[in-house]
Amino acid sequence: MVHHAAVTGWGWYSPAQILSNDDLAKIVDTNDEWIQSRTGIRERRIAGPGETTSSMATNAARQALEEAELAAQDLDLIICATTTPDHLIPATACLIQQNLGADQAAAFDLNTACTGFLYALAVGTQFIKGGGAKRILVVAGETLSRFVNFEDRGTCILFGDGAAAVVLEATSQNAGVLSTVLGSKGDVEQILSIEAGGSARPATAQTVAEKAHCIKMRGNEIFKLAVRSMAQSAQEALAKAGLSVNDLRAVIPHQANHRILTATQSVLGLSEDQMFINIDRYGNTGASSIPIALGEFLHANPIDAGEHLLIVAFGGGLTWGAAVLRWADIPAIKRERKESLLRKNFALTG
């Protein structure tokens, strides 16, 4: 039996510390007016000294499990999308597995930068469709502030920290992830990169002095590529699902720049109400940006079973993609779970 993969729980975590545009203007030559008019960002959240990608992601994961009414032991897989893992080894997903006590779950990381959540959702969907997993935690976490050069005004204004998660669950309902489109093009020209700290350029005193462990980016080149690839993958994902923009309740895009989002919105012919934007309060939180936005959207806008969402992203790698989701009847999935547990218990005792 082919299963569909539906989101049945979600949650997000944002660190308490706020870094405003005025705060940044005290560090680099910039100002609130420039940042807001060029990016739409007012403030971003920054991880506290004791916080890491895994600790934030664990908080988000606990919320997602609670929303899904599942225990950590119910998970059979954890996929963590991150570009800013706690360590190179162990994988951040394994640390989350341990924090949660998800002792039945396999765990691995996936790095496709800001497209990470979308790729992780697509991989999780394939696991469910192939029968390899029934309940997956798809979690994204980023501590980008630790990879930002706070002397470079072209990048330090953009990024923020945070984490978010969804529970992806097998269902026989004709709902869940209806289509995915993924793309990539090796960024040999280093339009967006963290050059040092890997095997090509291991850490040395010189790489540290050069701040080569920080994000480098040619912003305006990315801008054009982002609009083009997000619009194209959104159209392809809709066509694959047999839907049009008019069928969408909302689009939850990767939040990189307000102007990228309004340009994509206009290419796709979406109404302002359909495009969910929260970049003003978070900046670009990398792989976490879509699931944080999804969590905020769902919190403010209850959604009915059968309604459609589109998620769309662009990121380093270079990578891009889109997915169409049909919202499942989540109470019915929870009921089915309980009934199947009762049947199992009855079979054991009977």
Which residues of this protein are in contact with ligand COA, per CB under 6 A? Answer: 30, 34-35, 38-39, 114, 153-154, 157, 192, 217, 219-220, 222-223, 226, 256-257, 284, 314-315
| Cα–Cα distance, 312 to 323 (Å, whole number) | 7
Residue of minimal CB distance from ligand COA?
Answer: 219
Catalytic residue, from 214, 257, 284, 308: name it: 284
Q: In whole angstroms, how close is the CB of 232 to ligand COA at the nearest point?
A: 16
Determine whether 257 is an active site residue. no
Determine whether 284 is an active site residue. yes
Residue nearer to ligand COA on the CB measure, 199 or 220: 220
Q: In whole angstroms, how close is the CB of 303 to ligand COA at the nearest point?
A: 26
Q: In whole angstroms, how close is the CB of 34 to ligand COA at the nearest point?
A: 4
Q: In whole angstroms, how close is the CB of 245 to ligand COA at the nearest point?
A: 23
Determine whether 299 is an active site residue. no
Catalytic residue, from 114, 156, 214, 257: name it: 114
Our CA dihedral for 187, 191, 192, 197, rounded to 10 degrees, sits at 70
Relative to beta strand 248-253, strand 135-143 is unpaired
Residue nearer to ligand COA on the CB measure, 220 or 349: 220
Angle among Cα 146, 149, 155 to the nearest 5 degrees reads 105
Our CA dihedral for 300, 302, 307, 311, rounded to 10 degrees, sits at 30
Residue nearer to ligand COA on the CB measure, 190 or 204: 190
Catalytic residue, from 59, 94, 214, 254: name it: 254
Residue nearer to ligand COA on the CB measure, 314 or 327: 314
Using alpha carbons, select from 108, 91, 107 the residue that is nearest to residue 53: 91
Using alpha carbons, select from 217, 277, 257, 286 the residue that is nearest to residue 45: 286
Q: Which token pair is 257?
A: 């720049």
Using alpha carbons, select from 305, 324, 141 the residue that is nearest to residue 236: 324
Enzyme catalytic residues? 114, 254, 284
